[in-house]
Structure 1
Amino acid sequence: MTMDDPDELRAWLVALRTPGLGPGGLRERLDDAGGDIRAALRQLRRRAAPLGEPAQAWLARPDEERLASDQAWLAEPGHRLLRCTEADFPPQLEHIPQPPAVLFVAGDASLLLHPQVAIVGARSASAAGLAHARTFARALAAAGFAITSGMADGIDGAAHVAALDAEAPTLAVVGTGPDRVYPRKHQALARRIAAHGALVSEFPPGMPARADHFPRRNRIIAGLSLGTLVIEAGLRSGSLITARLAAEQGREVFALPGSIHNPLARGCHRLIRDGARLIEDAAEIVETLTLAARMLGGELAVRLREPNDGAIRFDGMGGTPSGLGGRGNDAEYRRLLTELGHAPATLDELVQRTGQSTAALSSMLLMLELEARVECLPGNRYQRLPGG
């Protein structure tokens, strides 16, 4: 059943807005129902009492105006409800505590499958800190990483803008509904990110900013990213929460040192004392994360392209799926390279030429890029390299 089915979409939206359920509760009921959201909702209605009276009232008579507003937002071009039951739901989020059940996405949802580096830091960053954020964002983007942050003022915003100015992908994970912008001064930035990257939220449309939303937002930033770079942070900075969550999730944490006289360097120095990697150059991050990016590509290849007979399996050697080693010997990869030819092509053009989904092509192109057979160019274009 696809999301073109209005009954299925409605079931998701009703479940998502059920008071007291949360992503963990929804996932548990989906597991019990074999991934069928309508069956999960029927079960939820039968056993709503433990969730309390607000949940029972909502499930008995949902607010139709609110559901219609959600549906209207999702009907707009470039908007998507990405569900945990879909093959292109980011697999890296499955390994974090309390993984989200859905993500509301405005923009290119396939970017969630790209290898990402989070760049976070102080809202009241210094001029030097903002310059560092821009420099690292440009360098990491040039190396093929998408830049992920929280669209906050300061370091976050500088990293997003630098990636956009370099015509590189950037993702903003926000602590509001996908139709809200916080801080309000970032209205133009939010429009740019949605147009050329992806705006991501686990909160439904209309949800305002709340203090407890931002730690939840931070776990997704850390979970999507192979590593988190902290540039300027005070001892009580929210960036330290993101870094702690990244470390707890087994991801790399990088910190930029600063002057002992700068209060905004103290958070970074604490991270370094606690085991974060001291970083002076973006090349150190690229070198550290290349293997993790390759493993992510392998996991995506299996998740998106596994045939019904389950013939493709992980071989246990660094996450590379057996049967896909040597991309040039795989029929679908050979076809992709043939259709790509020797002139740059956009992802949309390749979708039309090959008949593959955007998510599947993103995974295949990532693997070819890691093997230096394809190059990602500005404007989400791809070009075959000599010998590729």
Structure 2
Amino acid sequence: METDADTLAAPCDDRAGRASTPPEEAGALLRLLACGGALRPRQTLLEQAGNATAALAAGRSAWRACGLTAPQIASLSGAAPAGEAATLDWLQAPRHHMIGWHHPDYPPLLRRIDRPPLALFVAGDPSLLWHPAVAIVGSRRPTAGGRDTAAAFSRALARSGFAVASGMAAGIDTAAHQGCLDVGGATVAVLGTGPDVPYPRGNTALHARIVETGAVVSEHLPGTGPHKAHFPTRNRILAGLGLGTVVVEAALRSGALITARLAAESGREVFAVPGSIHNPMARGCHRLIRDGAALVEGVDEVIAALAPMAAKLAGDLRRRLGALEQAPHAPTSDGHAGITPPQPPGLADSCDDLDHKKLWVALGHDPTGMDELVERSGLTAAQVSSMLLLMELDGRVTVQHGRYFRSH
């Protein structure tokens, strides 16, 4: 089944890699993070002030009016929090970002979960957090078949235009990320460490590859090492960024089942791949199925189920792009030009440019698959998918069963 997500490429406009948060704004947001306590009062403060700098300058009376407690107010009034200088240094490097709750580029799906992070640290392309994504999770010690299934699902989802999100853990997570990367897809890794701390260490090379072509996301300050309590809580972010969660293999007690539960509580679809009754790594999936998760044997079932949410997210994307096209250089509420979220290359360009002409020539009146269009045009899969989105929205291209052809 075809969805709007099928034509949404991994945004790779390098403008996203050049944006940065001004140090004063970043420092103020770090203070709001460090003061801890209840989340909602700090969200309210940011919403009313418009940005973190103004929120910090508002003073004690405004802080109290927003519901901040005495310990929170004392923290905001005190010395700079530990790690602030190191974090500000980290943010100065290319492709390093911090996105606050108040920022228009904060991922829309993540706003809908319980306890959304006040800020996200992103290494890589932050616009991918707006991309329709599917989370793939499972055992750290999967069977060979489970690892192959995760990679196959990931490759197929990537070819269909979805990003693949996972937690970069050993086993199923690693297979999902690698499967997506192997076909040039967009992948998002959600860490329980700082965004610059690969875990496990064996995934250091994978971490670097995802930073280069995808996005690594964390709610923890750069430099934060692995702590047992961080991994279950990071699962809410992983579940929240995805339109749905696919569990490939999982024991009865596993982090994958936590992610699945959090996804269901956030109103997202949960899918489970069944396995042998003799495989202990399949028992968690079987429990999920008994509890109401959708049993899936192929990626087409996942795509069909997620079509309505993918269409809604594509509409949000289109409206955000429209706002950016009307004021492409207008500063955001925190005083800078923003990360220009999902603005795939060529999307705002004229359809008469050379790349669009190459793709138009590659298209015919017979349905043609994505791989063949990439080969014919000489463009990247990301460029082709981005331009196909524009052509489809303009009524120039029709999509049927993952194949594209001219509408006239």
TM-score by length of 1: 0.79
CA contact under 8 A between 2:107 and 2:241: conserved in structure 1? Answer: yes
Give the drift of 1:161.
0.8
CA distance in 1 between partners of 2:91 and 2:136 (Å)? 29
Change (3 A) 1:134 1:44: farther
2:140 equivalent in structure 1: 123
Structure 1 Cα separation of the partners of residues 390 and 233 of structure 2 = 31
Instruction: Answer yes or no: is 1:37 the counterpart of 2:52.
Output: yes
Which SS does the other structure have where 2:165 is aligned?
strand
Say whether the 8 Å CA contact 2:136–2:173 is kept in structure 1: yes
Q: Is the 8 A contact 2:37 2:72 kept in 1?
A: no
The structural deviation recorded for 1:24 is: 3.5
- 1:133-164 CA deviation, whole Å, 9 max, x = no partner? 11111111111110100001110011001111
CA distance, structure 1, for counterparts of residue 206 and residue 269 of structure 2? 28
| Equivalent residues, number | 343
How much does 1:113 deviate?
1.1
**Partner of residue 78, structure 2:** 60
Which one of 285, 289, 306 corresponds to residue 289 of structure 1?
Answer: 306
Q: Which residue in 1 is equivalent to 2:105?
A: 88
Q: State the match for 1:380 in structure 2.
A: none
Aligned match of 1:207 = 224
The reply to whether residue 250 of structure 1 matches residue 267 of structure 2 is: yes
Secondary structure of 2:83's partner?
helix
In structure 2, C-alpha distance between the alignment counterparts of 1:266 and 1:247, rounded to whole Å: 19
Deviation track 1:103-131 (CA, whole Å, cap 9, x = no partner) reads 11111111111110100000111111101
1:270 maps to: 287
C-alpha RMSD of matched pairs (Å):
3.2
* Alignment-derived partner of residue 123 in structure 2: 106
Report whether the alignment pairs 1:151 with 2:168.
yes
**1:54 Cα deviation from its structure 2 partner:** 8.3
Relative distance call for 1:136 and 1:45 in structure 2 (3 A) is same
**Which structure carries more relative contact order (alpha carbon 8 Å, separation 6+)?**
2
Partner of 1:378: none
1:315 is matched with which residue?
A: none
Q: Is the 8 A contact 1:79 1:106 kept in 2?
A: yes
Contact 1:24 1:99 survives alignment (8 Å): no
2:373 aligned partner: none
2: CA distance between counterparts of 1:117 and 1:386?
A: 29
- Are the counterparts in 1 of residues 396 and 407 from structure 2 also a CA contact under 8 Å? no
Residue 352 of structure 2 is matched in structure 1 by: 338
Quickly say closer, same or farther: Cα 1:50–1:222, change in 2 above 3 A.
Answer: closer
- Indicate if the aligned counterparts of 1:257 and 1:279 stay in contact, CA closer than 8 A: yes
Post-superposition offset of 1:9: 2.1
DSSP 3-state at the match of 2:127: helix
Q: 1:280 aligns with which of 290, 293, 297?
A: 297
Which of the residues 178, 181, 195 maps onto 1:161? 178
* Residue 141, structure 1, aligned to residue 162, structure 2: no
Q: Does 1:26 align with 2:24?
A: no
Change (3 A) 1:369 1:266: farther
8 Å CA contact retained: 1:170, 1:198? yes
Larger CA deviation: 95-104 vs 364-373: 364-373
How many Å separate the matches in 2 of 1:58 and 1:73? Answer: 22
**Residue 174 in structure 1 maps to residue 191 in structure 2:** yes
CA distance in 1, matches of 2:159, 2:398: 14
CA shift, 1:210, in A, is 1.8
Equivalence for 1:193? 210
Assess if the C-alpha contact under 8 Å between 1:116 and 1:147 holds in 2: yes
